[in-house]
Amino acid sequence: MKAYQRYIEQVQSKLRSVFDQAEKIEKAAKWITNCLANNGYIYTSGTGHSHMFAEEIFYRAGGFARVIPILDEALMLHKDASYSTEVERMEGYASKLLEEYRISQKDIFIISSNSGRNTVSIEMAMIAKNRGAKVIVITNLKHTQSVESRHSSGLKLYEVADLFFDNFGEIGDASISIEGLEFKVGATSTVIGATILQAIMVQATENLIFKGIEPEVFSSSNSDEGEEHNDALIRKYKGIIKGL
């Protein structure tokens, strides 16, 4: 097979493995259902490329309105990618970052990290748990179990979580070997992680409807009726959700 065919096969295989976590998906969806039914918020964060998972469910067509992403420029890639690698290893950074967020026992905190070893994500999980929120993690179990934690506690992110999901990635994330190239290419964590996240959100939505609760969900701003609907949600949450 050609390289792209092998990559697609890898992705399809890992997506099938997501079904092995069906019980966890339903549990996470139940937690989110209860969170939103009790006027809680879904906090979400990730460093490096994993910040995309926070954006995946924030201000998204078909996504819940009560999502608070923690998108810190220093931890993302668009400003200084190499520096973000340094920052995500700094102990104490998460504590300062979360000072302005009112995380409580009514809330859910979703943290994504492929390696699950870096200090900032681990500290975020610890702080969220200490404030009473349930912590859900998406990580690469094979990778994280092959490395040492960079946090002083010695814990990995999945060990702090109340519930964790495996993205079934390869060590290092890249999955395809090309003859003549030393390193693999074709990361899979994004497509698998996004699928897990959306599966949870879709199920939580159905749960809320079964409870007789119509959740606040964004529509597409590129449709006429969607823009009007979204404007009302933006007016409601503009001063509450940072970045909206």
Is 80 exceeded by the pLDDT of residue 156? yes
Query: CA nearest 28: which of 165, 129, 131?
Result: 165
* Alpha carbons 217 and 85: distance in angstroms, whole number: 34
Predicted confidence band of residue 74 (pLDDT cuts 50, 70, 90): low
pLDDT digits (tens, 9 = 90+) for 158-194: 999 999 999 999 999 999 999 999 999 999 999 999 9
* Alpha carbons 204 and 21: distance in angstroms, whole number: 16
What is the model's pLDDT at position 122?
A: 95
Give, for 230, the enclosing helix (H) or strand (E).
helix 224-237
Is 70 exceeded by the pLDDT of residue 58? yes
pLDDT digits (tens, 9 = 90+) for 103-113: 999 999 999 99
What is the model's pLDDT at position 92?
A: 87
Domains and CATH numbers, the chain: 3-237 (3.40.50.10490)
- Alpha helix ranges (H) inside 88-188: 93-97, 119-130, 141-144, 157-160
Q: Could you give the C-alpha distances from 88 to 2, 62, 75, 211, in angstroms and in order? A: 36, 30, 6, 40
Report pTM: 0.94
Beta-bridge partners for 119: none
